[in-house]
Structure formats: structure tokens, C-alpha cells
Amino acid sequence: MEIQSNFVDAGGVRTHYLEAGQGRPLVLVHGGGAGADSRGNWAETIAHFARDRRVIAPDMIGFGLTDKPDPAVYLYDQPGRTTHLVDFLDALGLSDVDMVGNSMGGATAIGVALNRPELIRRLVLMGSAGLPIPERPSPQLLHNLQYDFTVEGMRRVIAGLTAPGFAPTESLVKYRFDIVDDPASRAALSAINAETRKGTLNYDEDLLRGIQHPVLVVNGKEDGVSILPRAYRFLELFPNSWGYIVPHCGHWAMIEAPDDFNQAVALFLDRAL
């Protein structure tokens, strides 16, 4: 199935997104690792779900082919990402969508659920940010926060994001390295990482308790970036939540265990509640 590459003005931000298929809309929001974008994170997921859904995967502001405002005039914080995603959904006339968010994309999806709950029907959080567990960045996360814009640095980023034994292809390493190897992308990523260190990805637990959407919390059992205690805490806080733990898997369930991930998400999205 052909995956279309499109652009739309989302609140004044020229925003790139991938789209394929027809049916109930499913929005996929990528994570914030060095070299992340919609295609690198979601290509296989799009192909799977576009068989019977309209799948849409935007590049968040500062990532991929979406605009990267100068950090001197734009603050790359979590509220800004949430605003951009809301503007994107509004620009496409979307509401009542199913949404999957990975890592920083999960925190952004949570922001949409809090600020514009009518835009989301069901929510999947995979290795999601949003809670300060652990209190300090793990060694795996530091590989990303301290990315040095080298090919070897990108290998360390990928190693930190995946379970031991995962062997990335050379094309994956090159793709993620190339996509962030320009001045605007470097400046945006540096600003994003600086804000992440301040803890701006996190939400007050009382706010999370108020989310009434059905939520599926997915986590790799060996995820060193978003560790299992965070997934368990999400399950405790969200009143209408299910959990799915993927063995032998790190932070990239959609890449490390695509069949397992796709089946779990499809079951959740299709089940009668």
C-alpha cells in the first residue's frame, strides 16, 4: 500500500505527515530520540494498520521534515508539542481518533487527552514519558540526551533504546544519523534535550487520574528509558487502563517486536468496551 507524504499548516507550523489507508483514523506520534521521525518509527505499523484504517503519522515540531523554529524564538517544551499536535489534528479536521504515542510522543498524546479530550477516542502509550520515574535519567536515556552528532553516537543512541541483542541495520543507523545531520535539526534537538533535562515532560498525577479515555499501556520488559515501574504507575493512575508487557524488548516495541505490538494494539482498538 502506498504511503503518502504530505504537508499541512498546523498553527503556522509547516508540518509533514505520512498517510495511508481509509477508515477510522489512527494517529501515530513518534518519540523524541535523536533521528526520530514518523517514517523511521512507524513505517511497519502504518503498513499493518492501513489495511482497514486511515493511518496518519506526523513529524512533531523540530523533527523530520516539519518546521524547526530557531530555539532563540521558540521554546521546545512539552506544552508546545501538545499545542502543535492539537493544531495538526484541527488542521486535518480530525476528532475522536485513536492515538498511539511512543515515549515523548506518548507525553504529547497525554497532553492532547488532557487539553482536548474530545479529539481522542482510545489511547495507546508505548514506553511513554509523562511521569518522573526514574527520578534521574538512566544511562540508556543519557545516550540520547548526550548525543554528539556522530555515527558512533547514533549507534549508542539506538543501543540505549533497544534491548540487549538488538542489531540495527546499517540503513537504520544511516537514516537516523542523516535526518538530524543539518544545522536546524541539530539546534532543535539540542534545545529539546535541554528542556527534557528540566523534567518538562512530566504531568501532575492528579491530572492523569482525571483521564477517562480507555488507555492501553505497552512497555518493553527490558526498556531502560521508560522502565516498568513507570508503566505500572500509569496503570494505577488511569482509571480505564489495560497493560501489555513485551518480553525481550526495549523502548521500540513497534520495531523490535512488530507483530506482537500490532496484535496487542489491534485487539485493544477493536474490542467492545
Domain count for the chain: 1
For residues 136-141, average pLDDT:
80
Whether residue 137 has pLDDT greater than 90: no
CB 133 within 8 A of CB 217: no
- Residue 52 designated active-site: no
CATH number of the domain bearing residue 264: 3.40.50.1820
pLDDT digits (tens, 9 = 90+) for 251-270: 999 999 999 999 999 999 99
Specify the 3-state DSSP secondary structure of 243: strand
Q: What is the mean pLDDT of residues 236-264?
A: 97
Instruction: Catalytic residue, from 103, 128, 185, 226: name it.
Output: 103
- For residue 251, indicate whether it is catalytic: yes
Give the domain range for residue 179: 4-270
CA–CA dist 202, 269 (Å, integer): 26
How far is 134 from 97, CA to CA, in rounded Å? 31
Q: What is the arithmetic mean of pLDDT over 203-210?
A: 97
Q: Is a pLDDT exceeding 90 seen at residue 23?
A: yes
Report the mean per-residue pLDDT for the chain. 95
The x, y and z cell numbers of residue 119, run together, are 479529539
Q: Are the C-beta atoms of residues 74 and 13 closer than 8 Å to each other? A: no
pLDDT over 90 percentage in the chain: 90
Active site residue 103: yes
Strands annotated E in the chain:
4-10, 13-20, 25-29, 54-58, 97-102, 120-126, 215-220, 241-246
Q: Which of 128, 223, 226, 241 is catalytic?
A: 223
Report, as an integer, the average pLDDT of 213-224. Answer: 97
Q: What is the pLDDT of residue 63?
A: 98
pLDDT of residue 45: 97
Taking 90 as the threshold, does the pLDDT of residue 12 lie above it? yes
pLDDT band at 200 (very low <50, low <70, confident <90, very high): confident
Reply yes or no on whether the pLDDT at 133 is more than 80.
no
- Per residue in 34-73, pLDDT (tens digit) is 999 999 999 999 999 999 999 999 999 999 999 999 999 9
Say whether pLDDT at 22 is over 70. Answer: yes
Backbone phi, psi, residue 217, to 5°: -100, 115
Query: pLDDT band at 223, cuts 50/70/90?
Result: very high
Q: Average the pLDDT over 148-175 and give the result.
A: 95
Residue 135 pLDDT > 70 = no
**What pLDDT does residue 208 have?**
98
